[in-house]
Amino acid sequence: MTRALSTPPVIAPGLLGDSPQPVLSATGGLLLRPWEESDAPAFLSAYQDDEIRRWHTRRPSSEAQAREWFDAYRQDWKREKGGHWAITRDGDEVLGRIALRGLDFDDGTANVAYWVLPIARGAGVASHSLWALTAWALHEIGFHRLELDHSTRNHASCRVATKSGYLLEGTKRSAAVHDDGRHDMHLHARIRGD
């Protein structure tokens, strides 16, 4: 489809997809790196955790399916649709997942999502990772606005968002379906310059 906008895109197409997906450093010896085939067992086991299952209804059912997701993640990067990183300790032990999705280069907006394994909870892993991804997306790539949403019942995710400078902008009523039914969702955002 041909662009018919009166303004130039905030981010030039090709900026991400023409380059390898970066490895990002975060405080506390954390590295955010693209998913590797060998991460499939850890990725699959994450979705056996009750807290992760509570907030994520899309779940892999096998290591093979996890590897299919990793392939889709690589395609997302090449097509400039999103970026998906494993949150690791020094590039090895998988502690969680963080993603930038719904990339809109015309407006310079994207959505952030994350989860961390039980062994990483309460240690700042999610907030350190969110800070690192946010700094890269806003200041190195040039996104103008990053959004994240979570169930109003997910108090831990709300703390991570707030601690990472994502202001609470409001509540989207009955906006997502979880295993136990519809949930209202908090909408948080960070804008370049906040």
Compute how many other C-beta atoms are within 10 angstroms of the C-beta atom of residue 5. 8
Q: Given its phi and psi angles, is residue 102 left (phi above 0), alpha (psi -120 to 50 degrees) or beta?
A: left
Could you report the per-residue pLDDT of 10-23, keeping only the tens digit for each?
Answer: 999 999 999 999 99
DSSP one-letter code for 121: T
Residues ≥6 apart with Cβ < 8 Å to 90: 29, 31
Q: Give the pLDDT band (50/70/90) at residue 90.
A: confident
Q: Is the pLDDT of residue 99 over 60?
A: yes
Query: Please, which residues bridge with residue 147 across strands?
Result: 111, 189
Residues ≥6 apart with Cβ < 8 Å to 114: 87, 96, 97, 98, 99, 126, 129, 130, 148, 157, 160
DSSP one-letter code for 63: H
Q: CB-hemisphere CA count at 13 Å for 142? A: 10
- Compute the distance between CA of residue 70 and CA of residue 157 in angstroms, rounded to an integer: 24
The helix (H) or strand (E) run that includes residue 43 is: helix 40-46
Q: Give the pLDDT band (50/70/90) at residue 177.
A: very high
- Residue 2: the pLDDT is 56
Could you report the per-residue pLDDT of 36-66, keeping only the tens digit for each?
Answer: 999 999 999 999 999 999 998 889 999 999 9
Q: Give the pLDDT band (50/70/90) at residue 163.
A: very high
Q: Please give the structure tokens belonging to residue 6.
A: 């009166």
Q: Are 154 and 126 in contact (CB under 8 A)?
A: no
- Compute the distance between CA of residue 95 and CA of residue 118 in angstroms, rounded to an integer: 8
Q: Is the pLDDT of residue 9 over 80?
A: yes
Q: Among residues 130, 73, 138, which one has the least CA distance to residue 96?
A: 130
Residues ≥6 apart with Cβ < 8 Å to 89: 29, 30, 31, 95
- Compute the distance between CA of residue 10 and CA of residue 123 in angstroms, rounded to an integer: 35
DSSP 131-155: HHHHHIIIIII--SEEEEEEETT-H
- Domains of the chain with CATH codes: 24-143 (3.40.630.30)
Q: Give the pLDDT band (50/70/90) at residue 6.
A: confident
Q: Give the pLDDT band (50/70/90) at residue 5.
A: confident
Q: How many residues does the chain have?
A: 194
